[in-house]
Structure formats: structure tokens, C-alpha cells
A and B are shown apart, each in its own frame.
Chain A
């Protein structure tokens, strides 16, 4: 009897579906295999780069695309369930963190990473925030990232670097999912939301810059989620609901300003754009007044927070950011002037292959065409929900700021700012172009037509990803390779690290030292010292520039003595090689850049014969001198 019942149950229980009809399993299996293959290719690309085989670019992009293209297909497919779409996007975010992880899995490498690594380590050592950072002087005034990393390290027992990787990976996933949620707030469509996240991931900062151990990597995630909270606050059906979401908005906004200055300023700019759009629409269309009122109230609150932080906590920030903008504007004026000077040549001396460089220009054209088409489509109207419509228009405006930044990229001082602005303006492009992409995918009636449209769009995505990444990050940041003097990422040779370790072990940390940019990075981070690399008001580079036999500038020596500088670091490679990034000390150094080394060996070894410098360490390229200012005046 029992047997009969059991057989009867077996007959009534539905048979397990074959693997093909269970898309979750099929998707997980295919993307895991693609991810493993992609990771193996990324490893192969790194090895090709470090052994100088010349195939790194092809292997890198093959590795990236072998995972991302099928992932995009799964995310955008009409039949994909919302939950599977979220899973694919989470996997996509995780995989796109890999290139940077593989670039430097065991410690800081990029210029700003040394500053942030040191800042986090100092918190654990000294237990204090807001300490001045010698590598990037304003970093200490924005402790959001460092305190998070230091807290994770202190609570879990992992190293500062591993804690940073955990925080950065979480922030990277939060960015992708945040753009998805923001797009869903505006378009109320899961597919469009997924496409928005994919398009946003094509921006020039996504793969390398916004995954580095830098404050913007966390701040950009906070910016996106602040905008989500702002949209929910504007859409709140009742006063209590709006107040609740307003509190979440202010909280995240506060965290953003405590994390990164530029992102906080960009957030205020985006909020102002949203306010203007909702206000104009409220006036012209008679939409509810609560929407612009909420938007303005929150924007004013956020702006007050930013101003208060910049005025009371981080007053140095304005002085830090000002010169970049002023010089960029000067250089634009110079380019427009008669001589046409002041500009820079894109990809000058770059080792990036021609197709990456071509894609970089093509990506700008594709963005322009896509934005124009998206604007036309938006003009035809989209729904009636006022917040959604306003959000879409605001994103169109935000995206249009992407193109003026192209002008700044042509100037040496503006290039960095322009690249950084793209991470914000691309949010606008992603959110307004996504519905256009979905419409193009759905337009062909036949299966073959759909496949062709999908294939073409994938090619466009690939070109944009390759081009934007090539435009945003130079190859020495993206790939390992033989040591290169004057490269932020490749000039750290064991010899420099050993010198900094020796100084720390024998003389202690927090010493004031004079150094060039590249030695300063290592001595200021691993060495725990306080290097100065020169500025207009404290031109320490004049020590190096002084010709042998000529006296060093007396005023500079007095300044160094008064400020208790104890050591001088000399890298003799400055007399043999030209720095890869054309900087010896700082961007506006009065040092000739004519393709030849700017120093003679005599200029750098003259300290061997000046009685006010005691040479306490020498390893061939690196020499460490102790100042004896009492001897300087004799």
C-alpha cells in the first residue's frame, strides 16, 4: 500500500525541468565558465605585458569581452527574470573589478593609492582623523574612505590593503546596482535599468580609475544612491514619506562630502540640474509644487553641508582645486590665441595600439550620436509621471556636459579634471540612451533582425568600452611592465623601496624630507615620511636645479632649516632618463621638458661635496643626505 502511494506521488510530482528550461542554472554555468576564461585571459594579458611580448592589449580586451558580452546578453534579454537580471548585473560588477585587482593585488600602485593607503594606515597607528597627507595634501580633510577602510581593518583583522579591496569591491557593485535602481526610478522598466547600468560601465573611469584605492571610488557609489533617495523623496506620496526620504538623502549626502570634494560638488551640480528641471516643469505643466519644493530644500541642505565642510573642515580644498581650473582656462585661451600654444597632443608617445586610439575618438562620436537620438526620442514624450519625466530631462542635461569636457582634455591642466567629470556626466548619457537601445532591440519584427540589431549594439558597446578606457587611463596604469623612470606606477623599483625601508628603520617615521615626485611616493607611503616635492611657494626643486659650484638659494635653505627638514633624497635617474609622464616634481615645475634629461649628473652629485649635506645612504640610483644647516652659511 505504501509503495502504491509513493508511486502515485511520483506520478503527480512535476518532473524536474531540463537545464535549458532553467535559465538561472544555464546562466550561472555559462557566465561562470566565461568568467573563468576571461580571468585567465586577463592574467595572460598581464604576463604578456610584464614579459614585453606586445600582445597584452588584444588579450586584455578578449578577456574582458569574453565575459561582458554574454553577461550583457543575459541582462538585456526580454525573457530574463528580474532576479536573474540582478544576479547577472552583480556578477558583471564583480568581474569588471578584476582588471584593477589583477593590476596590483598586493599593495598600492597608482599615485593617489599611496596617499590613501598611508592615510588609512596612519589612522590605525595614531588613532586620529584629519592628519595632513604629504602626498595629496587635502586627502586628510576627507576621511570617509580612510576611516571606513581603517575600521574594516581594525574590526576584521585583515590588512589595510585587503580592507580597502573589500570596501572598493563593495562600492563597485553598489555603483552598478545603484545606477540600475536609479534608472528603474526614472523609467520603471527592468530592462532599461539593466541597459543603463551597462552603458554607465562603459565610461572611462569605470574599469581602473573608480576602482582604485581613492576617495572617488567610494564617493561615486554614494552619489548614485543619494540620487536614488532624492528621487524617492520627490516622489513621496505624503509629507511623512518625503521627510523620511529627505533624511536618507541628507545622510548619504553628508557621507559623500565627508568622502570626496569633487564628487560632493558634482552631486550638488546634479541636484541643481534636477531642481531647475522640476521647477520649470512645475511652472509650465502645473505639476505638484511639492516636487520642486522637496528638491530645492534638499539641494539647499546638501549645498549647506558642502559649504560648511569646505569652510570649516577643509578650507585648503579651494586652494587645491583652484589652480587646476584657472590653468586649464588659461591654456584654453592660449590654444585659442595666435600661437595656439598651451594645448596637448592626445596619445602623444602612447604605446596604445592604433585601434584603441581610433576607438577613443570613435567613442566620442558614438556618444554624440546616441545623445542626439536620445534627445529626439525624449522630445516625443515619455510617460506622464512628473518625477520620472523630470528625472529623464535632468539626465539629458547632465549627459550633455560630457562634450564640453572634451575641450578641457586638450589642455595639460584640464585633462585630469575632464576625465574625472566623465564619470558623472556619463551617468546622464547612460540613463537617457538606455531606452533608445531597448527600443532598437525591440524594433525588428523578425528574429534575424533582432539578432543583427543586438550584434551591432554589442559592437558599439565594445568600441565605447575600449575607446573610453584608452582615453581615460594610459597603458602603464593598466598593465605591468619593465621599470620605467617617471611613471607613477612603474618607477617603484626595489632599490627605492629598500632606501625608504632603511630610512624608516634607522631614523624613524614622520621625518620631513625633500624628494622628487616618484621617490616621494614611496618614502611618503611605505616609508611613513613627510616628503615635499616642491611648489611655487616652496620651490625645493631649486636645490636640484642649482648648478655645481654655485651656492644653493639661501632663502630656501633658511626655509628648510626653519621648518626642520632633515633629509634630501636624490634619484640619479633624473640625469639619465626623461620621466614618462613629463614631470620630475610637480605639474608646474620650472624644469625644461625638451625630450632630454633636465639634469646633469653634476647637478645631482654636487651634494657629495657640499659640507651641509652628509651622505648617509647610497644605492647607485638613490642617495639619502642629511642636512647640516649649521654648515650651510659658512
Chain B
């Protein structure tokens, strides 16, 4: 193929890549064709001589392929962001420049077309397509066969504003609702104990049903530790998993700048012994999940919170 034909062929391919609808099976082939054109032009520009067909095809492919990193490095050096349009433009400029060099070089004579080239390309393309078909079929077959189940898990995480805390939380006098996220995957449905501890003291415990392969948000009530200025360890556990944060009682946290006033999440406010979050009311003796009121005989609430004071035996640095 003459250089005058290679240039528009390469340019047309690039334009299609840039503006055409992305077709997953067609575009890789099109890109390969564009790179082969570019590689062939590199060979004509640099080593304008006849060579064995296989060597020509291999070198053209290699030269075409390395045009991509060269373009990317040039874009980076020029301070241009690397993305589809800039790579296309870069390849277009490269195509044009290399073609000009070839045309200048061809003024002293052109290299005759090699009729073996197309047949050798076909000799590589046919097994390539056959291997692709066999490979894709094997991968699809493998993917669709049943595989051993992967180990399941249940996770517990601080959620919402609680997920962003960076230090001790200042807990209002009425306590707060702590948002949590419980996720289960690959494990059967189970009932696990949901416990809240302030310091070493268990302040609430109730069973929580965890459905298989679900993620849900819930909130647990955390009573206020005494306003003694101490740092109190607050642990919420669900079965073998737990989250741990640290808090101070209301009115004691003047020196807890790293923390934040808890319960400042959307809709949350402290009430008498309970907190209400996201428009869901909770009465005493209840723990609240988003949109659902869960009643439980052992749920943390006033009964669990009241008494000798909360978190009196906290692990704080007092």
C-alpha cells in the first residue's frame, strides 16, 4: 500500500476511535489496524528497505505498540492530561509527522510492495482468531461452572457522622444514638448479641437478627458517661465483631478539641434518656434502627442506662 493511502487509512481509523460509538469487539481490532499502519510508517521512515514478511509485521506491530507510550510520555511532558482525546490527537500528530518523513524519504525511491505480507498477516490472523474463540469459550465455560463458595463474613462499622469521628466524642447528657452499619455476605442468617459497653460496664444487650447477604443501617443508644473529664471507652459489639470509640460526658469536654459533639448528625437530638435520629422516634427501652423500631426485652434504654452512673469505670486517662 502506498504511503498516500496509509495516511488516510490511519487517520480514518483514529477518527473512528475518537468519535465512533465504543464497540468492545470492533474497536480493539480497529486500534490494532491503526497501530499497524503507524508501525509500517515508522519502518518506512526509518528503515526503508525490503525485509522478510514476518520481520516486517513484527517490527511494525512493535513500533505501532510503542507509539502509545511515546505519545503518553510526550503528552505528560507537555503538561497535557492523558485521556482519550489527547491520546488520539497525539497519535494523529505522530501519524502526520512520520508520514511527512516517509514522503521526504521516498523522493529518492520507494520500496516495492511485498505480496507475501498480506498472506503472512493472514497466516497470523487465522490462528489468532481461532485461539481467541477457543480462549473465550474456555473462559466462559469456566466462569459459568459452579465454584466452591467463598468464606462469608459479617461486618460492623461506624456509620454516618460516627464514621468520620477523629477523636473523643462529647456525649450529651441524654446520651446519643450511634449510627452503625451491619453487612453480611456469604454467611447464613443468624442472630447475634448486640452489646454496648461504656468503660467495662455493659449498658445494653439484645439479640439482633442478621439476614444473609444484606446491608442495613441501625442505631444504638449510648448513654452519657459522667461529666468527670475522663476519657471513656465505648464499645459496640455484634457477635465477634466490634467498634470502639472514646467519649466524654457532657460539660466535661472543654479540652477535647479533637472530638466533636456527638449526636450532631442529621436529625439527631438528645432527649431524656434517648436520642432520635432521622425522624424516627424512640421511646425508652428501645433501640432504633433506620425506619424500624426494634423492641427488645434486653435493649439498652433507661433501664440499662440509669443506676449508678454511666461509664464510671471507663478506661479514660483519668
Contact = CB atoms under 8 A, between A and B. Distances in A.
Interface of A: 28, 31-32, 35-36, 39-40, 42-43, 46-47, 50-51, 83-84, 86-88, 90-91, 94-95, 97-98, 101-102, 105-106, 123-124, 127-130, 143-145, 147-148, 150-152, 154-158, 162, 166-167, 170-171, 173-174, 177-178, 180-181, 184, 218, 221-222, 225, 228-229, 232, 241, 244-245, 247-248, 251-252, 254-255, 258-259, 482-483, 493-495, 498-499, 502, 506-507, 608-609, 611, 613-621, 626, 628, 630-631, 634
Interface in B58-109: 58-59, 61-63, 65-66, 68-73, 76, 81-84, 87-88
Nearest to A147: B72
A258 B124 contact: no
A247 B48 CA distance: 11
B263 to A, nearest CB: 17
Given A105-B139, A129-B76, A494-B152, A32 B157 contact: no
Nearest to B90: A151
B151 to A, nearest CB: 5
Contacts of A628: 166-168, 246, 258
Interface in B14-63: 17-18, 22-24, 27-28, 30-32, 42-43, 46-49, 51-52, 54-55, 57-59, 61-63
Contacts of B126: 28, 87
B54 A618 contact: no
A476 B24 CA distance: 32
Contacts of B284: none
Contact of A499 (B68, B155, B235, B246): B155
A31 B131 CA distance: 10
A150 B61 contact: no
A105 B136 CA distance: 10
B142 interface: yes
Contact of A151 (B87, B152, B183): B87
B117 to A, nearest CB: 11
B8 interface: no
The 7 closest A-B pairs by CB, nearest first: A94-B131, A157-B22, A91-B127, A127-B81, A147-B72, A619-B155, A255-B66
A311 B3 CA distance: 39
Given A86-B120, A156-B28, 10 more contacts: A46-B142, A88-B127, A148-B68, A154-B82, A173-B128, A225-B62, A241-B49, A494-B153, A506-B157, A616-B243
Contacts of A130: 76
Contacts of B151: 483, 493-495
B222 interface: no
22 contacts: A28-B127, A31-B127, A43-B138, A46-B142, A50-B148, A94-B135, A95-B131, A101-B138, A128-B81, A130-B76, A143-B73, A162-B24, A173-B128, A232-B51, A244-B48, A254-B70, A255-B66, A482-B148, A611-B233, A618-B241, A628-B168, A631-B167
Nearest to B18: A155
B157 A229 contact: no
Residue from B48, B142, B151 having most chain A Cβ neighbours under 10 A: B142
Contacts of B18: 155
A550 B138 CA distance: 55
Nearest to A163: B28
A43 B61 contact: no
B87 A155 contact: yes
Contacts of B183: 498, 502, 619
Given A98-B138, A166-B28, A147 B131 contact: no
Contacts of A95: 131, 134
A340 to B, nearest CB: 41
B113 interface: no
A39 B137 CA distance: 9
Contact of B147 (A50, A232, A255, A609): A50
Contacts of B131: 35, 91, 94-95, 97-98
Residue from B23, B42, B128, B235 having most chain A Cβ neighbours under 10 A: B128
Contact of B73 (A32, A91, A258): A258
Interface string B307-318: 000000001110
Contact of B68 (A42, A152, A252): A152
Contacts of A101: 135, 138-139
A88 B131 CA distance: 11
B112 interface: no
A254 B73 CA distance: 12
Nearest to B79: A128
Given A166-B28, A184-B52, A248 B72 contact: no
B68 A151 contact: yes
A156 B24 contact: yes
B82 A123 contact: yes
A549 B155 CA distance: 27
B37 to A, nearest CB: 14
B251 interface: no
A498 B157 CA distance: 12
Given A618-B156, A618-B241, A244 B128 contact: no
A24 B45 CA distance: 35
Given A91-B127, A614-B244, A626-B166, A229 B59 contact: yes
B209 to A, nearest CB: 18
Contacts of B84: 154-155
Contact of B59 (A51, A94, A228): A228
Contacts of A499: 155
A618 B150 contact: no
B276 interface: no
B142 A608 contact: no
A40 B138 CA distance: 7
Contacts of A147: 68-69, 72-73, 82
B231 interface: yes
Contacts of A154: 82-84, 87
A498 B155 contact: yes
B62 A181 contact: no
Nearest to B26: A156
Contacts of B59: 225, 228-229, 248
B261 interface: no
Interface in B206-250: 231, 233, 235, 240-246
Interface string B241-273: 111111000000000001000000000000000
A619 B139 contact: no
B158 interface: yes
B134 A39 contact: yes
A282 B111 CA distance: 32
B123 A83 contact: yes
B154 interface: yes
B190 interface: no
B1 interface: no
Nearest to A608: B244
Given A151-B71, A156-B17, A157-B27, A506 B139 contact: no
Contacts of A173: 124, 128
B139 A630 contact: no
A216 B244 CA distance: 45
B291 interface: no
B150 A483 contact: yes
A174 B123 contact: no
A247 B31 CA distance: 25
Contacts of B130: 28, 32, 35, 91, 94
A615 B163 CA distance: 10
Contacts of A506: 157, 163
Contacts of A43: 138, 141-142, 145
Nearest to B240: A620
A245 B116 CA distance: 21
B69 to A, nearest CB: 4
B155 A42 contact: no
A614 B246 CA distance: 7
A261 B244 CA distance: 46
Contacts of B27: 155-158
Contacts of A158: 24, 27-28
B132 interface: yes
